[in-house]
Amino acid sequence: MQNTSWVPFFPEQASTFAWQVDGLYLYLILISVFFTVLIFAGLLVFGIKYREREKYATGAEIHGSIGLETFWSIIPFIISMTIFLGGAIVYYNQQRMPDDATEIFVVGKQWMWKIQHGTGQREINELHVPVGRKIKLTMTTEDVLHDFSIPAFRTKFDVVPGRYTTTWFEATKPGKYHLFCAEYCGLNHSGMGGYVYVMEQRDFDNWLSGNVSGQTPVEAGNDLFNNKLGCASCHQQNDQGRGPNLAGIFGKDVRLTGGQIVKADDEYIRNSILNPQGQIVEGYQPIMPTFKGQITEEQLVQLIAYIKSLGGNSIEGTTTRTTTTTNTNTSGGNNMNSNSGTGGSTIRVPLPERGAANNRQGSNPNAPDITSEPTNRQR
Amino acid sequence: MQNVDTINSGYIEKPTNYLTNGYTLKSWLLTKDHKRIAILYLIVISIFFLMGGLYAATIRLELLTPQSDMLETQTYNKVFTQHGILMIFFFLIPSIPAVLGNFFVPIMIGAKDLAFPRINLLSWYLYMIGGVLTLWALMQGGVDTGWTFYAPYSTTFSNSYVTAVGLGIFVNGFSSILTGLNLIVTTHTMRAPGMTWFRLPLFVWALYATSLVMILGTPVIAITILLLAVERLAQIGIFDPAIGGDPILFQHLFWFYSHPAVYIMVLPGMGVISELISNFSRKKIFGYEFIAFSSIAIAVFGFLVWGHHMFVSGQSIYAGLVFSFLTMVVAIPSAIKMFNWTATLYKGSILFDTPMLYALGFLGLFLIGGLTGLFLGSMGLDIHLTDTYFVVAHFHYVMVGGQVIAYLGGIHYWWSKMTGKMYSEFWGKISAMLVFVGFNLTFFPQFILGYQGMPRRYAAYPEEFQVLNIFSTAGASVLGVGLVMPVIYLTHSLIWGKDAPANPWLLPGLEWRIPSPPPTENFETTPIVTWEAYDFTEESGLDLESARNKNKVTV
């Protein structure tokens, strides 16, 4: 089914990481072959030359050599440092999230992958992505550890319950590639997988339009926030509510009761919904009930997407970044990249003032913009 | 080897040795003789090795075809889990320390027994209790978490006998701690006059380093298992985020023990290899101090690299960098050993008897095992390789290619001393070569499978991986034959083997200066050591010259 790579025994190279990993791999193979030949030659030559010729003969009296010991300690050390550095660089490239990536949400569950695109398409055990576009995966799981692994991309990352992990890739070659769960997750572990379809942009657009697109995560989150879960009754779009106003909060530092300052990222919002008493914003009462058990991982992702869409970028002036983002309107500030350090200043919540842009976005971020968004994007 | 009475029947006329000193079951089960306890261990770990091997054979048969057809998936998951648990906790960890270490450390340092003979017996009973508990749990239905017991699967989701098996491993851990304690104290306090630290055989150094890891590391796995049981039984949130725990914490705790445990499983093997390479080259080992201290360095640095199992688990990138760096550092002492062993052959007088064939096999396999460890320690590559068959191949090259091969080499080397009988050299050589070829055929294809992306712990796999899996299964059958053969010819030697001389290869070590099998007290009078380890000169007191002349006359 899959073509082989140009190097025998290699999996197909279908992402921008593939050549980096393969290059490092070839370098290590080279080193390994060198040392293997060296040691085997030593064993062979000494073994033949110095085999026993007379019973009970003794070998020469050689006890060692400081010079040789130093030599064969330092040379391998230097070589191992090149391996370390090479590995560190490739790892850094894979772990540093790009600013201009399209975000896709992944929720693992025994034993399937549930995938949610920013444009509203949902897939199970399949992932469709366009070629040549940076894709960032934000992942979590409903139950046990899983691992989202795409060998053709040389990409793999654990999916951990109770937190979000991220990874990214840029596919370079259209095709159908294996998607595996690589972390043992119980009974049907080996069945938890499917395929990644890398498509030319035009085909991908066809796929998008041919697929019934449900609510986008932001739309769904809006619905949860304002209707189903009733969050808006306390978290009002002004500072009069019993809870903090959430507009513009994403990616900012928040001061908690007790003076601790934390960044309002995915993880923080998630924890605040599931365990509200854990981190109380300064100036507010610990009155929020927990939503643990009442909300699924997918709904959490939607709520976070919605809160993220409530502006926040305008304050930091990161609008330049969002111009290249595929779903600018959907994900709003795109401050998922807060990990890479947007370095927002410490502000107190509730915010003293909000920009007009936030009001506009905050009230209803979706509707007409969203549906037209995919077509806007390709031009 | 199990049939002790038969061994003894030939010895009625001869002076009492440790085997003829009492024939009753009680004289064995209540013995305080380190040599008898070693034999007790040998019998039981052989049974566990056989069971683990049957599990391995089952895995390889299932993987002959891409579909999950021979076993149900649930059964497959249990089989690979139990293969890992039995092999690691009940075979590899006790193998060399509890059998060969128990038997030979006191003799090699000129002592009558270990420092704490009763504790030594206690540690065997703890091992038995842990083993029986585990076997009971396996018979009740087994365990399906993988030997790594990752939470929250193991604490909340698995419906198998996790707690019971955990308890078995917990109890077994104390056996390991006590053995380590005993070996350390013995090495410190029981050395014969003249047996200075730098005259110790390198096998003793290696076991000393191993024992350090055992007593420092094993308590951590005990705590981890306890916490796991607490969460599983009382639903107190420690590892499962649904009840307030942290699954990454489990991985840190688990690997804090289990990475050093890898060194528990390979340092003793390195010790055996140092003995074999030096003695069968009939020459002092090259760079004695460097090999000795590299064992200690491995034991110390081995504690600082556990995070390299977690490069894709979500630990911080900076922690990952430090762990990757230290992983490279810990590779250096192993490289030093490898070069020194090879250099020892230079200008030796090399004898290619069965133990030496195993030693050379070890050098080849451990070399590949060590080098592929660098692949996995390199973070960028690890992302692609971790949790694939590349990892499976790598640790089998280290564990089987390292420890099991060294253990077999050691068993052959000291068999005549332990039993007083000679095995068939012909069959010994054949089996050593079969093991080497079969092993490579089994596990080398798995490196390729891993790079192609085949994940580990898969009952079913995509069809394009089948060809290499067939190679692997074919290799496993060769390996299986190679491993069963010693059981047959060694057992055969107990009954029909020739009586062993005290020193068949004319070697200088203390164990070769006492009768085969040794008397209960090991030494009639406490030896006074005046020679260095692996001393083949006149100073060692061996009459090599006359042995050579005698040999010439007879030829």
Give the model's confidence band at A7: pLDDT under 50 very low, under 70 low, under 90 confident, else very high.
low
pLDDT at B555: 42
pLDDT digit string, tens, across residues B161-213: 999 999 999 999 999 999 999 999 999 999 999 999 999 999 999 999 999 99
Contacts of B90 (CB under 8 A, 6+ apart): B45, B48, B52, B127, B130, B131, B134, B172
By Cβ distance, the residue of A31, A68, A187 closest to B74 is: A187
pLDDT at A376: 36
pLDDT digit string, tens, across residues A339-375: 333 333 333 333 333 333 333 333 343 333 333 333 3
pLDDT digit string, tens, across residues B226-267: 999 999 999 999 999 988 899 999 999 999 999 999 999 999
A1 touches chain B (CB under 8 A): yes
**Greater model confidence, A103 or B544:** A103
> Which CATH number describes the domain made up of A102-210?
2.60.40.420
Where exactly are the structural domains of chain A? 102-210, 228-378
pLDDT at A61: 86
pLDDT digit string, tens, across residues A78-105: 999 999 999 999 999 998 899 899 999 9
Does the domain formed by A228-378 have CATH 1.10.760.10? yes
What share of chain A has pLDDT > 70, as a percent? Answer: 79
For residue A229, the Cα-to-chain-centroid distance in whole angstroms is 28
By Cβ distance, the residue of A50, A87, A165 closest to B347 is: A50
pLDDT at A5: 56
Does A258 have pLDDT greater than 50? yes
pLDDT digit string, tens, across residues A239-257: 777 888 888 888 888 888 8
A100 phi, psi to nearest 5 deg: -110, 40
Residues of chain A found within 8 Å of residue B331, distances taken between Cβ atoms: 76, 80
Q: What would the mean pLDDT of B402-416 be, rounded to a whole number?
A: 96
ipTM of this predicted structure: 0.90
Tokens at A314, concatenated: 């305008």
A92 touches chain B (CB under 8 A): yes
What share of chain A has pLDDT > 90, as a percent? Answer: 43
8 Å CB contact of A47 and B457 = no
Pair B537, B307: CB distance under 8 Å: no
Q: What would the mean pLDDT of B532-546 be, rounded to a whole number?
A: 83
Pair B116, B197: CB distance under 8 Å: no
Q: What would the mean pLDDT of B82-104 be, rounded to a whole number?
A: 96
Query: Across all residues in chain A, what is the average pLDDT?
Result: 79
Does A312 have pLDDT greater than 60? no
A140 phi, psi to nearest 5 deg: -150, 180
**Greater model confidence, A289 or A79:** A79
Tokens at B133, concatenated: 């508990």
Domain span at B427: 4-554
Q: What would the mean pLDDT of B441-447 be, rounded to a whole number?
A: 96
Candidates B81, B286, B349: best to mutate against A (most CBs of A within 10 A) is B349
CATH number assigned to the domain comprising residue B57: 1.20.210.10
Q: What would the mean pLDDT of A214-229 be, rounded to a whole number?
A: 83
**Number of folded domains that form chain B:** 1
Give the model's confidence band at B545: pLDDT under 50 very low, under 70 low, under 90 confident, else very high.
confident
pLDDT at A241: 77
A87 touches chain B (CB under 8 A): yes
CA distances from B238 to B152, B155, B250, B313 (A): 9, 10, 8, 18
pLDDT digit string, tens, across residues B25-38: 999 999 999 999 99
Q: How far is B5 from chain A (nearest CA, A)?
A: 35
Q: What would the mean pLDDT of B318-341 be, rounded to a whole number?
A: 95
Instruction: Compare all CA atoms of chain B with the CA of A25 and give the residue at the minimum distance.
Output: B381
Instruction: Compare all CA atoms of chain A with the CA of B291 and give the residue at the minimum distance.
Output: A69
Does A332 have pLDDT greater than 70? no
A30 touches chain B (CB under 8 A): no
